[in-house]
Amino acid sequence: MTIPATQAAVIFEKSNGPLIYKTDWPVTQAKELKPGEALVKITHSGVCHTDLHALKGDWPLDTRLPLVGGHEGVGTIVAIGEGTTTNRKIGDRVGIKWLADSCLDCEVCRRGQEATCSNAVCSGFAVHGTFQQYAVSYVRHLTPIPAGLDPVQAGPILCAGVTVWKAIKQSNTNPGDYILISGAGGGLGHLALQYAAAIGLRPIAVDTGEEKRKLCMELGAEKFIDFRTSQDIKADIRAATDGLGPHAAVIASSSAAAYNDALEYLRNHGTLVAVGLPADSYIKANVFWTVFRALRIVGSYVGNRQDAIEALDFAARGKVKAIVKVQPLKSLAEVYEGMEKGTVSGRIVLETGA
Ligand code: NAD
Ligand code: ZN
């Protein structure tokens, strides 16, 4: 297999700086890989709102700079570092997700909570990600892609899909319960509606605009509530859920307001699953009502290797389908503009041309 010396990649050199499309970005060669590393030829990468947070630098964490973003990458292993022990082989189809590596040896890793490992390494944040044609990643955290699953479909599952599947598993719900998805027309949300419906939950969608309303209703929402036009969003949500509020709410929008509303409209014993990551925000929970109404607040951060395999399996079985627009790698800046304005429905997947 020939590995070129240079490749196409999108990089940024400073927080909030311009995105630069390069065709001469260096490719790490097979002999330069360290034990445990693999070189993956990336054909497709989904664009997650997290990539936009990384560019803006609006989280209380520093990104590596300069940086190639991206963490929904799909491709083929083209080289594995000498001295690596693994069942993966050159030619295997794999995905690179947000969690590029963790130690697999500490308490949280042993418990399958590897995203919170103190040695966790994130793709498109601490190491160069998937907005390039050849990415170096850690072989033990690569996700096998089921045979027959279209790479365009696999991309969005690697972050958006696994994250919402995990969030739903943490929602303390049973089949037949109402689950509210905030940001339901976006990348995470439109997949959350489908995972919820697939396991017998009754999804209620909150987002804005006619296009997202139509999308959410087609994907299994029982009701769509437009957060911009609703006169009283909490009353509308209660009205859509037998007057009592949903059993759980997955907040998959990067809106701080969505969090505080949830604590008011949730049913008693309801669970708020925090997923979206608005900058500089707090969840304001009234202690009395949190206790008196027995509410739960749960943070949910991506998923582990098993969650990723489960999430992809729903897609491979046709139970979950990402609604995707495919665009060239060099259009990343436009994608972010749309995301910022809230005009992206479903997910955008970049084709790298590799
Ligand atoms: P997206 O831009 O594709 O979708 C967000 C959606 O939220 C849009 O459809 C938008 O219209 C909607 N929205 C905006 N304000 C809203 C409000 N007040 N109420 C309801 N909906 C509203 O973004 P995405 O890629 O789906 O990511 C969403 C958030 O989740 C981001 O903050 C991202 O960083 C975060 N995220 C978290 C994890 C995790 O592990 N917890 C993983 C991936 C992404
Ligand atoms: Zn993501």
Structure-model confidence comparison of residues 28 and 2, the more confident one: 28
Asked if residue 1 has pLDDT above 80, the reply is no
Please tell me the distance between residue 144's alpha carbon and the centre of ligand 1 in angstroms. 26
Whole-Å CA distances, 154 to 43, 63, 220, 297, 346: 11, 26, 20, 30, 14
Phi, psi values for residue 288, rounded to 5°:
-55, -50
Q: Each residue of 17-58: pLDDT tens digit?
A: 999 999 999 999 999 999 999 999 999 999 999 999 999 998
What is 6-158+303-351's CATH superfamily?
Medium-chain alcohol dehydrogenases, catalytic domain (3.90.180.10)
- Indicate the fold that domain 171-299 takes in CATH: Rossmann fold (3.40.50)
For CATH 3.40.50.720, the residue range(s) in the chain are 171-299
Burial 50-69 (b: 16+ CB within 10 A, else e): bbbbbbebbeeeebeeebbb
Q: What is the DSSP letter of 223?
A: E
Residue among 45, 50, 97, 304 to mutate when testing ligand 1 (max atoms within 8 A of CB): 50
* 310 vs 187: CA distance, rounded Å: 18
Q: Which atom of ligand 1 is nearest to the CA of 299?
A: 41
Structure tokens at 327: 């665009």
Residue 107 neighbours by CB under 8 Å, 6+ apart: none
Predicted confidence band of residue 255 (pLDDT cuts 50, 70, 90): confident
Among the bound ligands, the one closest to the CA of 189:
1
What was the pLDDT predicted at 254? 85
Mean pLDDT of 88-94: 98
Residue 28 neighbours by CB under 8 Å, 6+ apart: 39, 134, 136
Neighbours of ion ligand 2 (CB under 5 A): 48, 50, 159
Phi, psi values for residue 274, rounded to 5°:
-85, 120
**Whose CA is closest to atom 29 on ligand 1?**
276
For CATH 3.90.180.10, the residue range(s) in the chain are 6-158+303-351
Q: Each residue of 140-187: pLDDT tens digit?
A: 999 999 999 999 999 999 999 999 999 999 999 999 999 999 999 999
Asked if residue 112 has pLDDT above 90, the reply is yes
Residue among 188, 234, 304 to mutate when testing ligand 1 (max atoms within 8 A of CB): 188
* 267 vs 104: CA distance, rounded Å: 38
Residues in contact with ligand 1 by the CB-under-6-Å rule are 48-50, 53, 159-160, 163, 182-183, 185-189, 206-208, 212, 227, 252-255, 257-258, 275-277, 300-302, 339, 342, 344
Among the bound ligands, the one closest to the CA of 73:
2
Residue among 45, 47, 49 to mutate when testing ligand 1 (max atoms within 8 A of CB): 49
Among the bound ligands, the one closest to the CA of 325:
1
